[in-house]
Amino acid sequence: MDNNKLIYFTGLIYIITCLSCNEVKKEEQKPLEPKIKEVVYTLSFPDTVIVGKKNKGLIKYSSILDTIKLKPQDRRYLVFYAKAHKDSLELENLLKKEHDTFVSIGEGKIPIYDLSFNEKGINYLDGYIEDQIVVFGHEGDENKSRIITKTSKVYKKVIVIDSVKTVIQKQTSGYL
């Protein structure tokens, strides 16, 4: 009888184990993240500048449009429309005002030069990068062309001061 109980008990354990192994675990499905981000840029520009002084900088830019294989006749243009001022602007308003235009020198690099700020305090280097690809001979027809455009906002907070001497005076007097 003890042998029958052992066989019965072992069989029961085996059945329970088999049933529990077939249980499907419900896991939350996470949305797939894109492997390529739409736009990535780094803006190298001073955090603090002197009012009226011309400054230099550099934007390194890449976008999803980098994945498009261009034929020799196709063209790509990167243009940065920028303004140094107190408030952030939408593209349409920026283009209506006097602004600076900088063009890529290749490999996603856009140099910024001779950019100055006219007012002391907190200002912004504010603008838009327009990334355009012109595809000639679209769909195999020499007379067809296609323009693919990606517009991206670029901005950086910049502190504008009177002069370096002013900062040194404030540091020694304990204001900073």
Q: Which residue has the tokens 């994945």?
A: 67
| pLDDT of residue 4 exceeding 90 | no
Q: Is the pLDDT of residue 24 over 50?
A: no
Hey, is 130 helix, strand or coil?
strand
User: 20 pLDDT exceeds 90?
Assistant: no
Residue 119 neighbours by CB under 8 Å, 6+ apart:
51, 85, 86, 160
Query: In sequence order, what E strands does 4-120 have?
Result: 39-44, 48-50, 55-63, 75-85, 100-103, 109-115
Q: Are strands 55-63 and 39-44 parallel, antiparallel or unpaired?
A: antiparallel
Q: Which helix (H) or strand (E) holds 124?
A: strand 121-136
Please give the DSSP secondary-structure letter assigned to residue 71.
P
What pLDDT score was predicted for residue 14?
64
As a whole number, the mean pLDDT across the chain is 82
Instruction: Using the predicted structure, report yes or no on whether residue 144 has a pLDDT greater than 80.
Output: yes
103 beta partners? 79
Amino acid at 49: V
Per CATH, the number for 39-172 is 2.60.40.1930
Q: Across the beta sheet with 100-103, what order do the strands follow? A: 48-50, 145-161, 121-136, 75-85, 100-103
pTM of structure: 0.69
Structure tokens at 131: 């990334």
Percentage of residues in the chain having pLDDT higher than 70 = 73
CB contact at 8 A, 140 and 27: no
Torsion of CA 91, 95, 96, 98, to 10 degrees: 130
Q: For the segment 27-82, what is each residue's pLDDT rounded down to a tens digit?
A: 555 555 555 578 999 999 999 999 999 999 999 999 999 999 999 999 999 999 99
- How far does the chain reach from its first CA to its final CA, in angstroms? 91
| Beta-sheet pairing, 145-161 with 55-63 | unpaired
Reading the block at residue 135, the tokens are 């595809």
